[in-house]
Amino acid sequence: MEKSTGNSAELQIVAFHLGLTEYALPIDNVQEIIRLQTITRVPRAPLWVEGVINLRGTVVTVGNLHKRFSLPLIQVTEDSRIIIVKLAETNAGILVDDASDVIRISQGAVESSPDITGNIDKEYITGVVKIDNRILILLEPQKLLATGG
Amino acid sequence: MNMSQYLEMFLVEAKEHLQNLNDKVLALENNPDDKAIIDEIFRSAHTLKGMSATMGFDKVAELTHQMENVLHKVRAGERQVSSPLVDIFFKCLDTLDILISNIGDGGEGNLETSSLVTALQAAQEGHDRPLEATGISEGSKIDTGIPPEPVMSIEFNEYEKNIIRQSSEQGFFPWHLTVEIRPTCVMKSARAFMVFKNLEALGEVIKTNPSIEDIEDERFDPGFEIVLITKSLREEIIKAVNSIAEVDLPGIFSINIDNPPIPQEVKEKAKPANPQPAKTSPKEGVGGVAKHVPTIRVDIERLDLLINLVGELVINKTRLARIGHNKRLPDLNETIEQMDRISLDLQNLVMKVRMVPIEQVFNRFPRMVRDLARDMGKEVELIIEGKETELDRTVIDEIGDPLVHLLRNCLDHGVETKEQREVQGKPAQAKVRLAAKHEGNSVVIEVEDDGKGINTEVLMQKALEKGVITSAQAEAMEQEEVVNLIFAPGLSTAEKVTDISGRGVGLDAVRSKIESLSGSIFIETEKDRGTKFKINLPLTLAIIRALLVQVNQEAYAIPLGFIDETTIITPQDIRNVHEQEVILLRGNVLPLVRLHKPVGLSVPDYQPGQELFVVVVRKNNRQVGLVVDELIGQQEIVIKNLGHLLGGIPGLAGATILGDGRVSLILDITTLF
């Protein structure tokens, strides 16, 4: 993998689906992508928390962005994945419908274009990326998995 | 030369030496003639001096150097250990502690120590000069409220010595008087004047401390010292002073200027109102040097890492065992049994490595109790038992504060004043016992006093006043329940708020802390006989034994510490009392909680004839029956943190990973429902 830092003009993002919409996270914030495994429900946890998983002996919280963004819930499938996101204090997973690919974009391709992001709270969003005929919503990982909500 | 890399080591070792010095000086106070103790103090002070000098912390080095000088005289038999000397030592230790903490915080360790150094230098000459303000508030605070011990702080110059010598030859004898004017007195200088007038009728006042001018200006508190030369007898002097109202004469003794004595009566008066660590520490024979076992220091984080890895191993071993069991592979099973044994040994060993004697926590108490007892004017003997009892570091780190609280509580509320005790016909010196011992898989710590016990009537009255209970509840309460009110939040029975306890953050804080450690606390009390707090704690908080239960296909772990028993009932056994499901368990009413509810699941209806599993748990000393779908079994679980995002959820103490790799949540019964 090439270094994405060092060249400020370039940015690598991991693209994934929630329903029909495509989202993305900066690759620097993604530790790994794993297959779905048994998630233990945590009573009294915030609503958007799906539960906890065992990631090689560490207990990791998994969030459900459908719930966080108030999107219609979707059945988990063979394609469902958990993206383990690196945060300042801890690691946490997010449940996604699939993780399609890693895309190299130029920094300038990120536009602040909030009008097409629907009812998602704007603080979760860094910007919008348009490449070819795809539109990806670039998410802000720290905010995305902050407590509350 | 850059010393910063050694700083950490210096701090750790300096603290150890300080603790050792504190212990040994305490021991010295009770056995002033014990050469072995003096030698040990000397060695520690010497080492500390060397270390700090090497590191360039001159103040620490200077202070320890002066201590060493005094100790040298003591060792050589050139001077005796007196109570004021011990006080000076303690103040030195307090100051050293502040200095070293300051160094730890990045300071230079430069505090004003000159008054202490002067006092130590005086002590070398054989003068026990009681310390004036040391300039270090914490050090000097210890003495407030206690009358200064009647010890001569006056030094004579050659001229005065000559006067005394000459007058002695003519039958005039020098006396040292400590005069105190009661704090309630309005015209203190007038009383002081009367004292001088009466004394001058008997002889000549040749020196005072503070000076005559200061006394005239009322610059003394609460009293002053006088040197009187007279032919009169002791009784006549006492009479002359006592004839004046609002004046006390706590000390009078004759002076021998060429060989300053430690007056007998002072020695008696200064009989320490403090613990006797001699009982708590194994006697070291004369010249006995503490045994040195080869040890290494290990960063605690590395040990934590090690225990995590062992935890992983245990989890994976369980998984392997499952595979072997499911696939019916006898060869594998045999290997797993071997592995089982090894991993168990490994686990035990790692746990042992993390175990530290509770001594670490107990060590600071003799000094604390001594100081508190002095502050309160009480005589207390602290008896420590079982300080070699080992506990996991995780528990050790947490148990200090609750114990401090309990001991303070004991001294403040439990132990009576000397006068009250004498009225009761008890020995003036109260006994406070702090004991630790292993009991099965847990540790029991007891804090016991022979004080006045808990006054249940006052307690109930307070609880009613503060609205903790209603009067209807009060009437229905049994004696035992009333005593447990002492753990209720917002209840403090101290009649007045003191510095020591009774600030509203009472025993409820102690109880919740102990329960958060999966422990429990009980209380026994008897009026005028004393109070005993008994704390049960698990040996470790890293790996615990738990019962796994199942509700709606979800597995939860309940730490065994919370569980009294399990039982099986049928729906027919359940009664309803005030909308609350209960069963009768051996004649006692046991309220039921269906675990589905607190974990947010829908509660299924009972099927006739269905077997229901009840886990009887203890919450705040009351039993509650948790109804679950199934009992999976007991096992050792490794406690994992739920992490940053899910911290502090009530009812959950953490998570663990089961043999099949699934995560199971550990319930915290105290906050679950």
- Residue in A44, A59, A89 nearest the CB of B655: A59
Is A38 in contact with B662 (Cβ distance < 8 A)?
yes
Here the tokens at position B33 are 């003639």
Residue numbers in A near B600 (CB within 8 A)? 43-44
* Segment B205-226, tens digit of pLDDT: 888 888 877 887 777 777 888 8
* Predicted confidence (pLDDT) at residue B240 exceeds the cutoff of 50: yes
- Residue in A45, A59, A87 nearest the CB of B640: A59
Residue numbers in A near B644 (CB within 8 A)? 87, 89-90, 147
Q: Residue A59 is part of a domain; what is its CATH number?
A: 2.40.50.180
Q: What is the pLDDT of residue A43?
A: 93
* Segment B3-38, tens digit of pLDDT: 666 787 788 888 888 888 888 888 888 888 888 888
CA distance B483 to B525: 8
Torsion sign (Cα): B472, B478, B482, B487: negative
Relative to beta strand A30-35, strand A49-55 is: unpaired
The number of domains in chain B is 4
Mean pLDDT over B422-450 rounds to: 87
Query: Closest Cα of chain B to A84: distance in Å?
Result: 14
Is A60 in contact with B662 (Cβ distance < 8 A)?
no
The one-letter amino acid code at B89 reads F
* Helix (H) / strand (E) containing B657: strand B652-657
A27 close contact with B: CB closer than 8 A: no
Task: Say yes or no: B501 and B570 in one domain.
Answer: no
Mean pLDDT over B465-488 rounds to: 79
What is the domain range of residue B624?
543-672
Q: What is the pLDDT of residue B272?
A: 42
Relative to beta strand B612-619, strand B563-569 is: antiparallel
The number of domains in chain A is 1
The one-letter amino acid code at A115 reads D
User: Of the given ranges (A87-91, B255-259, B348-352, B452-456), which has the lowest mean pLDDT?
Assistant: B255-259
| A41, part of any domain | yes
Is B554 in contact with A41 (Cβ distance < 8 A)?
yes
CA distance B514 to B402: 8
Looking at per-residue confidence, does B509 or A54 come out higher?
A54
Residue numbers in B near A42 (CB within 8 A)? 642, 646, 649, 652, 665
CA nearest to B415, candidates B428, B401, B405: B428
B492 CB contacts (<8 Å, ≥6 apart)? B462, B501, B502, B503, B504, B506
Task: Say yes or no: B124 and B99 in one domain.
Answer: yes
* Predicted confidence (pLDDT) at residue B500 exceeds the cutoff of 60: no
- Residue in A57, A61, A92 nearest the CB of B315: A57
B506 CB contacts (<8 Å, ≥6 apart)? B486, B489, B490, B491, B492
| B40, part of any domain | yes
Is B664 in contact with A145 (Cβ distance < 8 A)?
no
Picking from B216, B251, B269, the residue at the C-terminal end of a domain is B269
| B550, part of any domain | yes
Q: What is the pLDDT of residue A13?
A: 92
Measured in whole angstroms, how far is the alpha carbon of residue B503 from the centre of its chain? 18
CA nearest to B498, candidates B364, B377, B401, B365: B377
* Predicted confidence (pLDDT) at residue A104 exceeds the cutoff of 80: yes
Task: Say yes or no: B599 and B508 in one domain.
Answer: no
Q: Residue B62 is part of a domain; what is its CATH number?
A: 1.20.120.160
- Please work out, in degrees rounded to the nearest 5, the angle formed at the alpha carbon of residue B296 by the alpha carbons of B293 and B302: 145
On average, the pLDDT of chain B sits at 78
| A5, part of any domain | no
* Predicted confidence (pLDDT) at residue B145 exceeds the cutoff of 90: no
Three-state SS at A50: strand
| A1, part of any domain | no
* Band of residue B432 on the pLDDT scale cut at 50, 70, 90: very high
Residue of B nearest to A144 (CA): B645
Residue of A nearest to B673 (CA): A44
Here the tokens at position B364 are 């600071």
Residue of A nearest to B666 (CA): A42
Q: Which residues of B are designated catalytic? A: 46, 68, 409
* Predicted confidence (pLDDT) at residue B449 exceeds the cutoff of 80: yes
Task: Say yes or no: B516 and B552 in one domain.
Answer: no
* Predicted confidence (pLDDT) at residue B286 exceeds the cutoff of 70: no
Q: What is the pLDDT of residue B241?
A: 82
* Band of residue B130 on the pLDDT scale cut at 50, 70, 90: low
* Predicted confidence (pLDDT) at residue B523 exceeds the cutoff of 60: yes
Q: Residue B563 is part of a domain; what is its CATH number?
A: 2.40.50.180
- Residues present in chain B in total: 673
| B293, part of any domain | no
Max avg pLDDT among A26-40, A113-127, B66-80: A26-40
- Residue B663 · residue A54 · CB < 8 Å: yes
Is A42 in contact with B665 (Cβ distance < 8 A)?
yes
The terminus-to-terminus CA distance of chain B in angstroms comes to 60
Mean pLDDT over B362-379 rounds to: 87
On average, the pLDDT of chain A sits at 83
Task: Say yes or no: B530 and B634 in one domain.
Answer: no
Here the tokens at position B61 are 């080095």
Three-state SS at B629: coil
Q: Count Cβ atoms below 10 Å from residue B157 Cβ, excluding itself.
A: 8
B657 close contact with A: CB closer than 8 A: yes
Q: Count Cβ atoms below 10 Å from residue B3 Cβ, excluding itself.
A: 11
CA nearest to B651, candidates B625, B669, B627: B669
Q: What is the pLDDT of residue B126?
A: 66
b/e per residue B88-125 (b: at least 16 CB within 10 A): bbbbbbbbbbbbbebbbeeeebebebebbbebbebbbe
- Residue A16 · residue A29 · CB < 8 Å: no
The one-letter amino acid code at B3 reads M
Task: Say yes or no: B533 and B421 in one domain.
Answer: yes
| A2, part of any domain | no
* Predicted confidence (pLDDT) at residue B626 exceeds the cutoff of 90: yes
Here the tokens at position B413 are 């509320």
Torsion sign (Cα): B65, B150, B220, B258: negative
A39 CB contacts (<8 Å, ≥6 apart)? A50, A51, A52, A53, A62, A95
Task: Say yes or no: B522 and B595 in one domain.
Answer: no
B304 close contact with A: CB closer than 8 A: no
Q: What is the pLDDT of residue B646?
A: 84
Q: What is the pLDDT of residue B76?
A: 79
Helix ranges (H only) for B452-506 are 456-465, 471-476, 479-484
The one-letter amino acid code at B8 reads E
User: Hey, which residues 79-118 in chain A have their CB within 8 Å of chain B?
Assistant: 87, 89-90, 92
Task: Say yes or no: B643 and B516 in one domain.
Answer: no
* Helix (H) / strand (E) containing B204: strand B203-209
Q: What is the pLDDT of residue B269?
A: 39
Here the tokens at position B363 are 């060590």
Looking at per-residue confidence, does B228 or B500 come out higher?
B228
CA distance B322 to B330: 12
| A76, part of any domain | yes
Residue numbers in B near A145 (CB within 8 A)? 645
Q: Residue B504 is part of a domain; what is its CATH number?
A: 3.30.565.10
Task: Say yes or no: B128 and B225 in one domain.
Answer: no
Is B652 in contact with A90 (Cβ distance < 8 A)?
no
Q: What is the pLDDT of residue B383?
A: 92
Max avg pLDDT among B54-68, B207-221, B493-507, B590-604: B590-604
* Band of residue B504 on the pLDDT scale cut at 50, 70, 90: very low
Task: Say yes or no: B525 and B565 in one domain.
Answer: no
Q: What is the pLDDT of residue B283?
A: 38
CA distance B128 to B119: 8
| B282, part of any domain | no
Interface test with A, best of B306, B315, B639, B645 (most A CBs within 10 A): B645
% pLDDT > 90, chain B:
11
* Burial class of residue B215 in the structure, from the number of CB atoms within 10 Å of its CB (0-12 exposed, 13-18 middle, 19+ buried): buried
| A21, part of any domain | yes
Picking from B78, B113, B146, the residue at the C-terminal end of a domain is B146
Max avg pLDDT among B440-449, B461-470, B514-523: B440-449
Task: Say yes or no: B102 and B162 in one domain.
Answer: no
Mean pLDDT over A70-81 rounds to: 84
* Predicted confidence (pLDDT) at residue B548 exceeds the cutoff of 90: yes
CA distance B413 to B265: 31
* Predicted confidence (pLDDT) at residue A57 exceeds the cutoff of 70: yes
Is A44 in contact with B644 (Cβ distance < 8 A)?
no
The CA–CA distances, whole Å, from A120 to A19, A95, B107, B344 equal 14, 17, 51, 51
* Predicted confidence (pLDDT) at residue B388 exceeds the cutoff of 60: yes
Q: What is the pLDDT of residue B258?
A: 57
Task: Give the A:B interface size as CB pairs under 8 Å.
Answer: 74
Q: What is the pLDDT of residue B157?
A: 75
What is the domain range of residue A69?
10-144
Q: How many CA atoms lie within 13 A of B267 on its CB side?
A: 9
CA distance B635 to B544: 8
Task: Say yes or no: B421 and B395 in one domain.
Answer: yes
* Predicted confidence (pLDDT) at residue A4 exceeds the cutoff of 70: no
CA distance B654 to B394: 15
| B512, part of any domain | yes
Here the tokens at position B211 are 């000076």
Q: What is the pLDDT of residue B100?
A: 84
Three-state SS at B574: coil
Q: What is the pLDDT of residue B501?
A: 44
Q: What is the pLDDT of residue B3?
A: 61
Question: What is the value of ipTM here, to two decimals?
Answer: 0.87
Picking from B269, B291, B324, the residue at the C-terminal end of a domain is B269
Q: What is the pLDDT of residue B270?
A: 39
Interface test with A, best of B543, B594, B646 (most A CBs within 10 A): B646
Q: What is the pLDDT of residue B629?
A: 92
| B258, part of any domain | yes
* Band of residue B581 on the pLDDT scale cut at 50, 70, 90: very high
Q: What is the pLDDT of residue B474?
A: 79
The one-letter amino acid code at B574 reads I
Looking at per-residue confidence, does B318 or B612 come out higher?
B612
User: Of the given ranges (A104-118, B19-33, B400-414), which has the lowest mean pLDDT?
Assistant: A104-118
| B336, part of any domain | no
Looking at per-residue confidence, does B216 or B617 come out higher?
B617
Looking at per-residue confidence, does B298 or B434 come out higher?
B434
DSSP bridge pairs for A86: A91
| B286, part of any domain | no
What is the DSSP track for B280-298? HSPPPPTTPPPP-------
